[in-house]
Amino acid sequence: MRYVVEYFNERVRDTVESWPVGLLADYLRLVSLVSEYGLQVRMPHTRALGAGLFELRPHGSDCAGRALFCYASADRIVIVHAFIKKTQATPRRDIGTARRRMRQVLR
């Protein structure tokens, strides 16, 4: 099955597009994997955060990014939030933002 990957809004897309070249290249590779294989893609590329929220885990040469996403339908993935990691754990604030947006997408 092939999944369509969309962005919650232009701000999320702009955030991703502003990432350093190496990080963006890895992100695009992971999006390609997820769009082709969906839930079959696991660690270290994706991780389930619970309640239908997942994270893409791209890495650049000097930083790591996260793109939080959900499955909006049987063939549609929505990137609801994206950021460059500055701490070891994914910040709760970013997870909260992603969960709120995910609820909006699923309505």
Domains within the chain, CATH numbers bracketed = 4-106 (3.30.2310.20)
Kindly state the greatest CA–CA separation across the chain: 38
Looking at residue 1, its pLDDT comes to 80
- Burial annotation 64-75 (CB, 10 A radius, 16+ → b, else e): ebbbbbbbbeee
Res. 97: pLDDT tops 90: yes
Res. 103: pLDDT tops 90: yes
Mean residue pLDDT across the chain: 96
Distance of CA 24 to the CA centre of its chain: 12
Q: What is the pLDDT of residues 54-80, one digit of tens each?
A: 999 999 999 999 999 999 999 999 999
Prediction pTM value: 0.95
Q: What is the mean pLDDT of the segment spanning 32-60?
A: 96
